[in-house]
Each structure stands twice: as structure tokens, then as C-alpha cells.
Structure 1
Amino acid sequence: MPSPRVSRFFSQVDQVEFALCRSINRSLRYRPVLSLFKVVSRLGDGWLWYVLILSLPLVYPHEGLAVALLMTGTGLACTVTYKLLKRWLVRERPFISFPVIHCGTPPLDRYSFPSGHTLHAVCFTTVLALTLPPLAILVLPFTLAVAASRVVLGLHYPSDVLAGAFIGGVVGLMATAWGAETLMLMTATQTGVAG
């Protein structure tokens, strides 16, 4: 249960963001927009990332397994982080707080802050940008579409998406820095043993 101060803060922010959310959410009236963002959201549930992680060792034989393991670890860290924050902060989703905002697809959980889809997408894209930059460029449009889908579908406020992007970026940076250091130590140890 959030503190009264947190509840008041989110209530005020919700009111500030309501008009923008409603304006963006109105694009759901166009069937192609709804269809596109429902597909993006569904892929952002994890399906695209699972396929990508599993294919990395095949596509990049030298570094693919290490990057796949790094992405798996960061994915787990992101899941724990956003679930704890949602449980602690308890911000209702826009379509719950404002019935004029339409829900374009069923949410995976009840609360809104931060956007877990955006958090994961930005984290994974950050890891790829630091390890396999050409692949990061390919997934960047999908990451941006995932972030946009959260507001378009009435599931998140823009601040949820921004917070998710920030947290995901930080987790991705920290994990890659730690992971790179660990991999260098492992490589140095193996080279020392072989020598």
C-alpha cells in the first residue's frame, strides 16, 4: 500500500497527464493503429525478446552466448525491479482512473508505474547497443514502438514510459559494465590457465 503522499503525488500527476493520454488514445479509433499497436504490445510481452535471445548464439558464434546470458540476467533484474515498484507505488492505469480512455488490449498486471514493457525494451536495446551495435539499430524502431504502444493503448501514462525507459537504460548500462568486466576476467583466467 503506498503512502498517502505517494498517492496524492500520482493523483496530481494523473490529472496533468490526462489530456495528453486521452489525445494519444483517440488514435485507437483507426483500426490499423489499433491492430499495429496490439501486435507490437503482444511481441513486447517478451516473445520477440525470447526469440532474439535464443538466436544470438547461432547468429553471433563468438559473443552471442555471452550477450544472451547478459540479456537473460538483465531481463530477470528488470522483472523484479518493475514488479516491486508497481507493488509499492500502486498507480492505477489510465483506463482505470479515467473511463473515457479506452483500453486497447488487456494488461498483464493491474498497476501502471513504471512501464515494464518499456523498461525491458530499453534495457535490452541498451545491452545490444553496447555489445552488438548493428543489432541494436535494427531493434531500436521496435523499442520505440513498444514505448508508444503503452500510451496509445491506454495502459500507461507518458511518465510511466519515461520512468521505464530511464530505469531500463540504467539497468542495461550497469549490467553491461559488470558483465563486460566479468567476461574479461573469465577470458583472462582461461588464457592464464591455457598459458
Structure 2
Amino acid sequence: MKPRAPVVFERLDLIEWPICQRLAGFSIHRPWLMTLRLASKAGDWPLWVALIAAQPWLSPRDGWHLALQYALTALVAVALYRLVKTRLCRERPFITFAGIACREPARDRYSFPSGHTMHAVMFGTLVAVHSPWLLPALVPVIALIAVSRVGLGLHYLSDVAAGAAIGHLMALASLALAS
């Protein structure tokens, strides 16, 4: 028996699908599609692993501590993300609505929340506190990662918003615990 998503998602799906369909429709343009795919791949893990590994060089005084903090925060965030995702079971827009094309392979069936966006915002918040000079380079990447999730047909806007909120809260909790 297939798990059932909460009724609130059924209502949100109907409200959000026209917007998702329109945004995913822009990916017919090859340069935009390639940009979205590149952003999605960056948000998978390589960018974040590089950011964690670079902490000793970015902050020579306490870089190893920051690297450990970032890594532990990411691990706790992944655990929370998986718990939420497997309990709420919101199907991806391309599964629910035939008019939304999936432009990138999905790792699983469920979309809520966006893990890519969660990590992007979480690391962006941590960087804003520890290395704010990196933000001009990082903010456009974070925005593209979030946009890529909807543009590739993998998430609803509310999945991205929830992922951003969870990521921001995880970073704030990490910062509070580390101080």
C-alpha cells in the first residue's frame, strides 16, 4: 500500500502546479536547462564538501572547528530531512501532473522538502556568519540551486520554501550550540 500524503499537500499541489508547469517549461531552452542542471549537480554535494574542506584555509584560526561544525550540521540536517520526507510522502510534481516534465533523474519519489535548497540555505547562513566576504559568490549559486529544483520539475515552490526554512533553522541551531 502506497503511503498517503497529508490532505494539505493535495490542495497545495493544485494551487502550485500551474506555476511549476510554467517554470519547468522554460527548461526547453537548452542554455537554461544546462544552467539548471549544473546548479542541481553543484547542490548535490560537491560544493558543500569543498566548502567544509576549505574551512581551515578560509579561517586559519578556527577552521578545523568550523569544518567539524559544518559537517555535523549537514549530517543532522540530512537525518531530519529524511525523517520528514519519508513521513510526509508528497509526490514530485512530474509524478502527480503529466504536464510537468522531469528534466533530471529524481533520487526518490517524494519532493517535500527540497534537500538541495535546505543544504544551500544552511551553508549560506553559516557562511554569512563565518565568512561573509564569500556571500557575493555564494548567494547567486544558492538562488540557482533553489530555482533549479522547480525548473527541472522535481519540486513545488513550497518544497523549496520549506527546505530553505529548515536549512536556515538548522544553521541557526548550529550557531547557537557552537557559541
By the TM > 0.5 criterion, same fold?
Answer: yes
Residue of structure 1 equivalent to 2:19: 20
> What are the equivalent positions in structure 2 for 1:81-96 lying under 5 Å apart?
81-96=80-95
Measure how far apart 1:59 and its partner are: 3.2
Residue of structure 2 equivalent to 1:107: 106
> What are the equivalent positions in structure 2 for 1:7-86 lying under 5 Å apart?
7-86=6-85
Judge conservation of contact 2:58–2:131 (CA < 8 Å) in 1: no
SS at structure 2 position matched to 1:107: coil
Q: Which runs of 5+ in 1 are unaligned?
A: 182-195
Measure how far apart 1:118 and its partner are: 0.3
Judge conservation of contact 1:40–1:146 (CA < 8 Å) in 2: yes
Letter of the 1:125 partner, please give it: G
What CA distance in whole angstroms lies between the structure 1 residues aligned with 2:136 and 2:82? 28
Query: CA RMSD, aligned part only?
Result: 1.4
Measure how far apart 1:9 and its partner are: 1.5
SS at structure 1 position matched to 2:6: helix
Per the normalisation by structure 2, the TM-score is: 0.94
Letter of the 1:141 partner, please give it: P
SS at structure 2 position matched to 1:106: coil
Judge conservation of contact 1:129–1:137 (CA < 8 Å) in 2: no
Letter of the 2:114 partner, please give it: S
What CA distance in whole angstroms lies between the structure 2 residues aligned with 1:81 and 1:114? 10
> What are the equivalent positions in structure 2 for 1:105-144 lying under 5 Å apart?
105-144=104-143
Q: Deviations over 1:132-162 (max 9, x none)?
A: 2112332111111100100000000000000
Per the normalisation by structure 1, the TM-score is: 0.87
Measure how far apart 1:65 and its partner are: 1.6
Measure how far apart 1:63 and its partner are: 2.4
What CA distance in whole angstroms lies between the structure 2 residues aligned with 1:152 and 1:106? 13
What CA distance in whole angstroms lies between the structure 1 residues aligned with 2:166 and 2:48? 18
Q: Deviations over 1:31-70 (max 9, x none)?
A: 0011111011011001111112112212321122222111
Alignment coverage as a number of residue pairs: 178
Measure how far apart 1:73 and its partner are: 0.9
Measure how far apart 1:99 and its partner are: 1.5
Measure how far apart 1:78 and its partner are: 1.1
> What are the equivalent positions in structure 2 for 1:171-182 lying under 5 Å apart?
171-179=170-178, 181=179
What is the aligned-residue identity percentage?
42
Q: Which runs of 5+ in 2 are unaligned?
A: none
What CA distance in whole angstroms lies between the structure 2 residues aligned with 1:123 and 1:46? 13
Letter of the 2:68 partner, please give it: L
Measure how far apart 1:98 and its partner are: 0.7
SS at structure 1 position matched to 2:90: coil
